[in-house]
Structure 1
């Protein structure tokens, strides 16, 4: 069976692996139809994703078809189209007992810590599959990206009329934008790439955008937009330690800063920046099981329009030669999708 493995940063190889066994109790055998390429995949390729373990078959944003189910499986059946919740949690640790398996102490994310979906078939826990009778495989592959943004938005807990700053207009920033807009907040998006900001204005009608320059002019523009109050919620989706360090300075007194982007560098700030305004500093990791059916329903009802998302496509046979282009924002990539089957 064919698979693509990332042996080490910047070294993809196509390999032949054994076909999976028949599904056991609580398992399902699935065929990968679509895989979305996200920041974690790019970070793993570039060697900048701290959770990535090599060698690894990547792929956690997946639209799959159920081929067979094991004993005791009732939530899905062969032929179902599903999105995959890729967070393999233990169910027993402190976080899991509190209903937060997204940050399980022994969490293994498929495609990051254990092998993922960039192969023809694989076995997965059936409780991690979320079916839809309406969505395409393309749309199902987008659900996990949107779930990251859904959880980040929930962590920020913005209210109608709040000024919310989203830093980074890549896929995770855009996914966060999808859900922050549903709260009725007044949104500003900041990014270094003007084309991404134009996408936010054109597709989402974002009134306030700022081209980040990394100097005092950034804060001047943000102060102008908010009348000097700064932001009730700041969500940093860049994965840049420099941006994450600076983001605390954009929050209003008593505001909240959420880190959804991941960095392997140090995030530093003088303590009064956090203490004086009594900021809430939060991490946002992965998503919760409840987010997946919610997102599927929102797409099915047309509340979320996935049509503008996919800007680039490739096939299984062309992934290795084309992947490098998906790491460069200047190519205009928002979301690239691999047609696996």
Structure 2
């Protein structure tokens, strides 16, 4: 069957791989209909994703159809449309024993550490499938991105009336925005790209945005809009080690800083930047199973509108040719969806 593999940074190839065998106990055979291109895929293409292993068939933001199920599978059935929870945890390590499989010591994320869904069919643990009778394959492919933001928001735990700053208005930053706004916190978004900030204002009604110029003006704007208090919760979704280090400047006394972006660089800062405000620093990795179920419900009832997210569509046969353009900010892509099969 056909598949696309990233052999090494910046080098995609079309390959022919064997069709999967029949699903075993606890497994499901699925067909990929839609795949979302996310920052992890772009960073893997550029050689900047620390967890990416080459060569690799990418694809972890997926809308799939169940073709067959193995013995013991009851949570999905043939014909179900599903979102994929791509985090293959071991079930045995400390994190798994404490119901935190998102950061399993032996975690394998499909499309990143093991082959993913940029192919016609693949086998997966059936417990990693989250069905919906209502959502389209495109909507289901967006659930994983939204889950990242859901979990990151839970880590920072903003509450109504607090000021929350989201640094970076790419797909992950927007997913944090989706869930931070539901808490009732007062949201501000900062980015280097004025078009992305305009999107936040016009689509999400974000009242406060800050254009990052790197000349200190962003700090002055922050002090003005918070009356010098800074932000109770700051979430950095940039993946830039410089931004991640500087983010402490925006954290209020006793505030929380959440790192959801990933970098291969070192994040360094003078210790007093963290110690003086008694700041709490948190990492956020992947998402929880309950996040997927919650998000599917929120899209189904209209609380989350996925329409504005999808800015580009790519046919499977054009992906190798077109993929590089999504690494360029001027392309204006928020989320590109690959049509893997009809």
Q: Map 1:53-132 to 2 at 5 A.
A: 53-132=53-132
**Unmatched 5+ stretches in structure 2:** none
Deviation at 1:249, TM superposition (A): 1.0
Deviation at 1:214, TM superposition (A): 1.6
**1:203-257 deviations in whole A, cap 9, x for unaligned?**
0000111111123111111111111000000000000000000001100000000
Rounded to whole Å, the distance in 2 between the matches of 1:23 and 1:224 is 59
Rounded to whole Å, the distance in 1 between the matches of 2:224 and 2:111 is 42
Rounded to whole Å, the distance in 1 between the matches of 2:215 and 2:261 is 21
Match of 1:263 in 2: 263
Partner SS for 1:281: strand
**1:153-186 deviations in whole A, cap 9, x for unaligned?**
0001001011000000000000000000000000
Match of 1:153 in 2: 153
**1:267-306 deviations in whole A, cap 9, x for unaligned?**
0100000001100000000000000010000000000000
Rounded to whole Å, the distance in 1 between the matches of 2:171 and 2:258 is 16
Match of 1:278 in 2: 278
Deviation at 1:106, TM superposition (A): 0.3
Rounded to whole Å, the distance in 1 between the matches of 2:217 and 2:271 is 23
Q: Is 1:28 matched up with 2:50? A: no
Rounded to whole Å, the distance in 2 between the matches of 1:257 and 1:214 is 20
Deviation at 1:329, TM superposition (A): 1.4
Rounded to whole Å, the distance in 1 between the matches of 2:326 and 2:98 is 37
Rounded to whole Å, the distance in 1 between the matches of 2:112 and 2:214 is 31
State the 4+ residue runs in structure 1 displaced beyond 3 angstroms: none
Deviation at 1:25, TM superposition (A): 0.1
Rounded to whole Å, the distance in 2 between the matches of 1:214 and 1:296 is 38
Match of 2:210 in 1: 210
Q: Map 1:1-40 to 2 at 5 A.
A: 1-40=1-40
Match of 2:133 in 1: 133
Rounded to whole Å, the distance in 1 between the matches of 2:219 and 2:233 is 15
Q: Map 1:312-327 to 2 at 5 A.
A: 312-327=312-327
Partner SS for 2:289: coil
Aligned Cα RMSD in Å?
0.4
Q: Name the TM-score, length of structure 1 as normaliser.
A: 1.00
Match of 2:229 in 1: 229
Rounded to whole Å, the distance in 2 between the matches of 1:283 and 1:34 is 29
**Unmatched 5+ stretches in structure 1:** none
Rounded to whole Å, the distance in 1 between the matches of 2:214 and 2:336 is 28
Q: Map 1:190-201 to 2 at 5 A.
A: 190-201=190-201
Match of 2:333 in 1: 333
Deviation at 1:33, TM superposition (A): 0.1
Deviation at 1:44, TM superposition (A): 0.1
Partner SS for 2:175: helix
Rounded to whole Å, the distance in 2 between the matches of 1:234 and 1:214 is 18
Partner SS for 1:308: helix
The number of residues matched between the two structures is 341
Rounded to whole Å, the distance in 1 between the matches of 2:301 and 2:329 is 31
**1:54-75 deviations in whole A, cap 9, x for unaligned?**
0000000000000000000000
